[in-house]
Amino acid sequence: MSAERIQGGSKGVQLDSAASEETRDSQGRTPESIREESVSAPEDKPEEREDAAGEAGGAEEGKRRRLRWRKKELPGGLWLKCEACAATIYRKELEGKGMVCPSCGFHFTLPGAERIRMVLDEGTWEEFYADLASLDRLEFTDKISYAEKLQRTVERTGQNEALLCGTGEIENRPVVLAVLDFKFLGGSMGEVVGEKIALACELARKRHRPLVIFTSSGGARMHEGMLSLMQMAKTCAALRSLNEAGGFSICVLTNPTTGGVTASFATVCDLTLAEPGALIGFAGPRVIATTLKQELPAGFQRAEFLLEKGHLDAIVERADLRDTLARLIDYGRAAWSAE
Amino acid sequence: MSEAPPDKPEPGAGERPAKGASPPRGAETGPEFERPIRDLEGQLAELQELAGGTQLDISSEVAALRARLEAAIETTYSELSPWDRVIVARHPERPVAGDYVNAILDDFIELHGDRSYGDDRAILTGLARIDDERFMLIGHRKGRTTKERLACNFGCAHPEGYRKALHKMRLAEKLGLPIVTLINTPGAYPGIGAEERGQALAIAENILAMFGLRVPILVIVIGEGGSGGALGIGIGDRVLMMEYAYYSVISPEGCAAILWKDGERTPDAAASLRLTSADLERLELVDGVIPEPRGGAHRDREGAMQTVRATILSELAGLRRLETDELLRLRREKFRHAGAIDGRFPTCP
């Protein structure tokens, strides 16, 4: 095993209990409110974070619409507000439904580790490149230095970067999986995120496995300046090489995906899927509303809007994702010789 | 939902052109930091006018004033902050794509339309010739008069603009013509129609496609390199920047608004983003910098444009020497490892 490869469940992905942190944020600060233009810069709220508190069991089995969501006790509020319909939801009910609003079906943003657990067959995840960590190459300082911001985020999340990538199986079908985690600086793409997407493309190419990507991101990470913009080019270069080798790629856009991620690898995979209600766009809605000085139409930039305008292959509910991905992968098999 | 024709700005666009595109500062008077230069230029003009009406020999005074003016330009331009440079890049007198077409091309046939939706005037495309060198010119178009600027959304392209560019680049590939792109945009247009028609997708498709175009591509940032809107025509075998151009992941205004929540911090944001040509050459994110006349391209437009003309000829001649497969391999490798520190990242096992 190479030095940069770390087994699943160790350093790279901790089963942390920040599952509902976006929800908590939504009381004062939704993912939308911190996004502008094609970059994101979420603030650190270290006082709101909890330590790792994963526990075993809880996955529901036996149904076609399976939800591999792990219920667990979370400190803090028992009741949450849905950011889409404003319904008050009992936290345990929300978790039981895989973080899907029981009244309107809004799909809450999932932490990366939970996404991996939900999508992959149990025990098949093997993480790669978990130790790649970002550098403050521009010595960027706003209220605090980027170096310090990174350090705090690493401590809070227990992972080195916003992208988790590795191998695993979806209903016994081997895949390379890459998951952007919104809780790490808004899932923003800096050098390491871009590099890991490129490495995931190369891993898929070498292992002859389909590449499955989940995105949730505010876009390019402005603290890395042009180095982050160039990740758009880097990821597309790697994806193109995968395409030319006959690879098969699927990207699932989840709430929210905007900016430089949408404008690069996320929208040019072989198949583009989205979760219901996911906000997907180039410019953030606030930027557009400010620029145009007008209110935006209802449903603007939501997954259903994109589907109607012809930009998505399909919208897939969270409960159907595993099954749908498995079936899609079977159609992509012809492109590959067996591993 | 109202559908704006592609050649007209969307409602409200004229009031505020785009994210981060504040109206050019000092449109009438020029940038604040050029005040000492303008004062001396005024004095010199006054003196020469005065001398014109008399027989007095004031050549020594004129020479002295001219020397002071040169010194003022030298001093001012050697001390420009990154934010000053952004202002220079946006100077209303700075040459734009249309000026290059008029000044340095020996032939130009504009080609319109993306063949599916419309003709975005924020992107200029056409068959171009300098001497015997024929190529496809792709550029952001800002326009010079207010009417022109409005018509092309101040250089902020819609998806149909990027698709038009791709359509013409594919034609260039078929004809075996190299491609020259001139980047000068505050950013891709953030609007309802742009999102409906897939702004992000259009940019992503261009980036992906440009890695496969089997002809040489020369990219020159001539003014503003605004984020993804720039990168949408920004993949090339050689990526050059003019000395006072900037290239950034976000406008300094946008960055200051997000990180500091304070527009007054825009100059700090400009400095933090490392968006100058010198910074980006140091980070190895651009392949070279095209020097500008002292005091910027707006001070000697013809001189600046002739330098670009010579650069296009020499660069295309250089790229022509490479075998096509090698050209594409190098292009892809360059962006695959863009700016990365040697040995920092592993190779795939």
Q: What is the pLDDT of residues A162-217, one digit of tens each?
A: 999 999 999 999 999 999 999 999 999 999 999 999 999 999 999 999 999 999 99
Which of A39, A240, A267 minimises the CB distance to B249? Answer: A39
Listed by number, the residues of chain B in 225-244 with a beta carbon closer than 8 Å to a beta carbon of chain A are 227-228, 231-232, 234-235
| Band of pLDDT at residue B186, cut at 50, 70 and 90 | very high
Q: Is B260 on the interface with A (CB under 8 A)?
A: yes
Q: How far is CA B290 from CA A79, B78, B209, in A?
A: 60, 16, 27
Q: What is the pLDDT of residues A55-91, one digit of tens each?
A: 223 333 344 444 554 444 344 478 888 877 888 888 8
Q: Are B206 and B272 in contact (CB under 8 A)?
A: no
Phi, psi of A312 (to 5 degrees): -125, 150
SS3 B309: helix
**Identity of residue A111:** P
How much of chain B is helix, strand and coil, in % rounded to 5? 45, 15, 40
Per-residue model confidence (pLDDT) at position B167: 98
Buried b (16+ CB within 10 A) or exposed e, A218-244: bbbbbbbbbbbbbbbbbbbbbbbbbbe
Quick one: average pLDDT of B112-127?
96
- Asked whether the beta carbons of residue A229 and residue B272 sit closer than 8 angstroms, the reply is no
Of the listed ranges B33-37, B131-135, B184-188, B317-321, the one predicted with least confidence: B33-37
Q: Are B249 and B269 in contact (CB under 8 A)?
A: no
Chain A CB contacts of B336 below 8 Å: 198, 234, 237-238, 241
* CA–CA distance, A130 with A6 (Å, rounded to integer): 6
DSSP state letters, B255-301: HHHHHTS-GGGHHHHHHHTT-BHHHHHHTTSSSEEE---TT-TTTSH
Kindly identify which residue of chain A lies nearest to residue B282, measuring between CA atoms: A138
SS3 A166: strand
Domains of chain A: 3-334 (3.90.226.10)
Of the listed ranges A84-98, B153-167, B168-182, the one predicted with least confidence: A84-98
* CA–CA distance, A326 with A177 (Å, rounded to integer): 13
SS3 B201: helix
Whether the bond between A256 and the residue before it is cis, its omega within 30 degrees of 0, is yes
DSSP state letters, B53-113: TS----HHHHHHHHHHHHHHHHHHHHS--HHHHHHHHT-TTS--HHHHHHHH-SEEEE---
Per-residue model confidence (pLDDT) at position A195: 97
Q: Are B124 and B108 in contact (CB under 8 A)?
A: no
* CA–CA distance, B104 with A258 (Å, rounded to integer): 39
Chain A CB contacts of B274 below 8 Å: 138, 225-226
Min Cα–Cα distance to chain B from A302, Å: 11
Buried b (16+ CB within 10 A) or exposed e, A296-310: eeeebbbbebbbeee
Q: Is the pLDDT of residue B55 over 80?
A: no
Min Cα–Cα distance to chain A from B178, Å: 20
Pseudo-torsion of CA A209, A210, A214, A219, nearest 10°? 90
Q: What is the pTM of this model?
A: 0.85
- Asked whether the beta carbons of residue B273 and residue A222 sit closer than 8 angstroms, the reply is yes
* CA–CA distance, B7 with B18 (Å, rounded to integer): 16
Structure tokens at A49: 């974070």
Q: Is B280 on the interface with A (CB under 8 A)?
A: yes
Q: How far does chain B reach from its first CA to its final CA, in angstroms?
A: 51
* CA–CA distance, B128 with B318 (Å, rounded to integer): 18
| Band of pLDDT at residue B24, cut at 50, 70 and 90 | very low
How much of chain A is helix, strand and coil, in % rounded to 5? 35, 20, 45
Chain B CB contacts of A206 below 8 Å: 348-349
Higher pLDDT, A57 or B327: B327
Structure tokens at A299: 């449903």
**Identity of residue A106:** F
Q: Is the dihedral of CA A136, A141, A145, A150 positive or negative?
A: negative
* CA–CA distance, B252 with B263 (Å, rounded to integer): 9
Structure tokens at A40: 């994101």
Phi, psi of A267 (to 5 degrees): -105, 0
- Asked whether the beta carbons of residue A292 and residue B10 sit closer than 8 angstroms, the reply is yes
Q: Are B121 and B98 in contact (CB under 8 A)?
A: no
How many CB atoms neighbour CB B171 within 10 A?
15
Q: Is B339 on the interface with A (CB under 8 A)?
A: yes
Of the listed ranges A124-133, B44-53, B69-78, B162-171, the one predicted with least confidence: B44-53
Query: What letter would DSSP give residue A162?
Result: S
Per-residue model confidence (pLDDT) at position A153: 96
Average pLDDT, chain B: 90
Q: Is the pLDDT of residue B218 over 80?
A: yes
Which of A37, A228, A234 minimises the CB distance to B254? Answer: A37
Q: Is the pLDDT of residue B265 over 70?
A: yes
Q: Is the pLDDT of residue B227 over 70?
A: yes
Chain A CB contacts of B272 below 8 Å: 138, 140-142, 225
Quick one: average pLDDT of B261-268?
90
Min Cα–Cα distance to chain B from A284, Å: 8
Of the listed ranges A175-184, A243-252, B242-251, B252-261, the one predicted with least confidence: B252-261
Per-residue model confidence (pLDDT) at position A92: 87
Chain A CB contacts of B12 below 8 Å: 291-294
Min Cα–Cα distance to chain B from A96, Å: 34
**Low-confidence residues of chain A: pLDDT under 50:** 1-38, 40-66, 69-76, 338-339
* CA–CA distance, A235 with B236 (Å, rounded to integer): 15
SS3 A274: strand
Per-residue model confidence (pLDDT) at position B248: 97
Q: Which residues contact A320 (CB under 8 A, 6 or more apart)?
A: A65
**Nearest Cα residue to A241 out of A213, A186, A203, A275:** A203
- Asked whether the beta carbons of residue B274 and residue A262 sit closer than 8 angstroms, the reply is no
Planar angle of CA A141, A143, A146, nearest 5 degrees: 40
Higher pLDDT, B241 or B9: B241
**Nearest Cα residue to A276 out of A63, A97, A24, A44:** A97
Kindly identify which residue of chain A lies nearest to residue B10, measuring between CA atoms: A292
Q: Are B178 and B216 in contact (CB under 8 A)?
A: yes
Q: How many CB pairs under 8 A join A and B?
A: 225
Q: Is A180 on the interface with B (CB under 8 A)?
A: no
How many CB atoms neighbour CB A174 within 10 A?
17
Which of B259, B280, B337 minimises the CB distance to A226? Answer: B280
DSSP state letters, B174-198: HHT--EEEEEEES-S--SHHHHHTT
Phi, psi of B308 (to 5 degrees): -65, -40
Per-residue model confidence (pLDDT) at position A337: 52
Quick one: average pLDDT of B239-247?
98
Per-residue model confidence (pLDDT) at position A57: 30
Chain A CB contacts of B236 below 8 Å: none
* CA–CA distance, A91 with A228 (Å, rounded to integer): 36
Higher pLDDT, B20 or A82: A82
Per-residue model confidence (pLDDT) at position A16: 33
For an interface test with A, the pick among B199, B328, B336 (most A C-beta atoms closer than 10 Å) comes out as: B336
Min Cα–Cα distance to chain B from A174, Å: 17
Which of B1, B249, B283 minimises the CB distance to A297? Answer: B1
Q: Are A240 and A216 in contact (CB under 8 A)?
A: no
Q: Which residues contact B146 (CB under 8 A, 6 or more apart)?
A: none
The residues pairing with B136 across neighbouring beta strands, listed in sequence order, are B127, B179
Q: Is B274 on the interface with A (CB under 8 A)?
A: yes
Min Cα–Cα distance to chain A from B347, Å: 8
Which of B20, B249, B285 minimises the CB distance to A222? Answer: B249
